[in-house]
Amino acid sequence: MHENDNVAVVVRTGGLPAGTEVRPGLVLREAIPQGHKVALATLPEGAEVRRYNVVIGHALQEIAAGGWVNEHRIAMPGARELSGLPLSTRPQEPQLPLEGYQFDGYRNDDGSVGTRNILAITTTVQCVSGVVDFAVRRIKEELLPRYPNVDDVVALNHAYGCGVAIDAPAAPIPIRTVRNISRNPNFGNEVMVVSLGCEKMQPARLLPPGAIPMRGAEQADVVCLQDDEHVGFMSMIDSIMRTAERHLQRLNARRREPCPASALVVGMQCGGSDAFSGITANPALGHAADLLVRAGATVMFSENTEVRDGVDQLTSRAATPAVAEDIIRELAWYDDYLRMGSVDRSANTTPGNKKGGLSNIVEKAMGSIVKSGSSPIVGVLAPGENVREKKLPPGLVFAATPASDFICGTLQLAAGMNLHIFTTGRGTPYGLAECPVIKVATRTDLARRWHDLMDVNAGRVADGEIDIEALGWEIFHLMLDVASGRKTWAERWKLHNDLTLFNPAPVT
C-alpha cells in the first residue's frame, strides 16, 4: 500500500501455497490465505510492522521474509494520546465544484429532500411494538395499495422508553435519536406516534412543540393505547389505521422532481471488514465522497473506534481548529465510555475481521478511515444529533457513533441521511427499512457468491479491471440513480435490520 511498507497482502482467491515465488527472491515459507500479510523482509523480534506506512504492530518473534504476518505474531501498538495533535494544519486546495448533477427526489417543506416517500410510525416505548407491527401489516395489506405513490410503511420500533433513567446525564442521546429519526427527510415531515401512556418517554418529552417541522399539524398525531376510548385490541388497531390513512393521503400527493445533488445527505459505513476494505471499496468510496462534496452534498463518516488510531489524520484535515477540538472531544468521551466497561478500542476487531486478514484495530482503522476521502471536515455531530438542527455547512461531517453496524446506521438516520452506502468484505445482508442502502463488496469472490445481495463489486480494483477513480465515479452515479428511485438489492428483498439505539445511560 506504500513504498515504505514491509508487508504486502495476498490478493488471489484461495490464497497462495508455500513455495510460491511472489517476487524475484521472495518465496512464501508457508501457505498464506487471501487477504493476509506476507513479510517482504525478515522482521526481527520487536521490529515495526508497517502497512499504509503506519506502524500496525511489532513482531512478537522473528518473522522471516516470506512468512505469514498475522494477529498471533504481532503486538498492537498503544493508542495515541489525544493531546498535542495537529489542529487544522493541512490546508486543502479548493476543488472545482461539480455542477449540473441532480436526482429525482421528494422536496420537503423544511428544505430537506427525501429519496423515498415513506410513512414512518414513531413509537415512544418498546411495549407498543407488537401492536404497531400488527397494525403495519394490516396497513400494508389493506391501505397501502390505494396509495401507489407511497413507497412503504415503517414502524420505528426500539428498546427504550421505560425502565430507564430518563433524567440521567446521558439520556438525551437515545431521546434525541428517536426524535431526529422521526424527522428524517424520507418521511416527508409526516409525524405519527403510537404511545402506551404510562412510559417515561412521554410524547410531549419526545416531541415537544416546535421541536420538529410537521406537515398538516402543529403537533404530532398521537395514538395512546391506554386512552379510555380504546375498548379491545381491535379498537387500538382501528385508531392506528385511521390515523395512518390521513398521513398516507398527504404522502400520496407527493411526486418526485429534479433536485440538485447538493440535497443528498449520505451516510457511509463499513461492516464485516477485511484486508481488502482499505484496498478496493473504501478508497473508491472516498473518491465518491470527494465528488459528492464537490457537488455540494453532505457526507457523513462515523465509527469512533475505527478512526481513533488515525485521529491525527482527522484533526489535521479539520476545516478549523474548533472542528478539530470537537473531534477530540467526541473521541475522548468515547474513550471514557469504553473505560467504564473495562475495555478499550481493541475490543472492536471481530473473528471475521481477523479471518479476512485484519490483525488488529490499528490496521482496520487505516482501511476504514480512507472512505472519508480527502475533503476538509466541516463539522462534527455527537450521537443522535442532526445536521440541519446543528446548522452544519454542506461537506464532510464526522458523525461520532459506535462502530456497531446497527447502532451506527440508526444514528446516521437520526443525523438526517437520505442515502446509505455500506462496504463489506466478509459479507453481511445489512439493510435499513427507512433508507436505501447500497452494498459494496470488497472482493470479486464475495460479489460472485452474493451476486443478488451486493450492488457493486469493488473487487475489480484488485483484479486490475478498473481503477479507484473510475470506480468512485461509478459509485457516484449509482448513488444518484438510487436516490432517484432505483432499488438496491436490500430493497428488492425487503431486508432490513432493527433500529438499535445507543443508550449509555443507566437502565433501572
Q: Is 451 exposed, middle or buried (0-12, 13-18, 19+ CB in 10 A)?
A: exposed
Residues 6+ apart with CB under 8 A from 255: 106, 149
pLDDT at 90: 87
Q: 371, 397, 398: which is closest to 283 by C-alpha?
A: 371
3-state secondary structure of 43: strand
Residues 6+ apart with CB under 8 A from 216: 190, 246, 250
User: What gap in Å lies between CA 311 and CA 299, rounded to an integer?
Assistant: 18
pLDDT at 215: 62
57 bridge partner residues: 49
408 bridge partner residues: none
Amino acid at the residue 3: E
pLDDT at 92: 76
User: What gap in Å lies between CA 280 and CA 276, rounded to an integer?
Assistant: 6
Q: What are the residue ranges of helices labelled H in 22-144? A: 129-138
SS3 string of 373-437? CCCCEEEEECCCCCCCCCCCCCEEEEECCCCCHHHHHHHHHHHCCCEEEEEECCCCCCCCCCCCE
User: What gap in Å lies between CA 274 and CA 34, rounded to an integer?
Assistant: 10
Structural domain spans, the chain: 7-75, 110-252, 259-493
Fold assignment, 7-75:
2.30.130
* In contact, 446 and 429? CB cutoff 8 Å: no
pLDDT at 214: 64
User: What gap in Å lies between CA 315 and CA 327, rounded to an integer?
Assistant: 7
Q: Tell me the three cell numbers of residue 18.
A: 508455500
Per-residue pLDDT of the chain (508 residues; tens, 9 = 90+): 999 999 999 999 999 999 999 999 999 999 999 999 999 999 999 999 999 999 999 999 999 999 999 999 999 999 999 999 999 998 777 789 999 999 999 999 999 999 999 999 999 999 999 999 999 999 999 999 999 999 999 999 999 999 999 999 999 999 999 999 999 999 999 999 999 999 999 999 999 987 776 665 556 799 999 999 999 999 999 999 999 999 999 999 999 999 999 999 999 999 999 999 999 999 999 999 999 999 999 999 999 999 999 999 999 999 999 999 999 999 999 999 999 999 999 999 999 999 999 999 999 999 999 999 999 999 999 999 999 999 999 999 999 999 999 999 999 999 999 999 999 999 999 999 999 999 999 999 999 999 999 999 999 999 999 999 999 999 999 999 999 999 999 999 999 999 999 999 999 9
pLDDT at 193: 97
pLDDT at 177: 98
User: What gap in Å lies between CA 233 and CA 226, rounded to an integer?
Assistant: 11
Instruction: Confirm whether pTM is higher than 0.75.
Output: yes
Q: Tell me the three cell numbers of residue 55.
A: 506502524
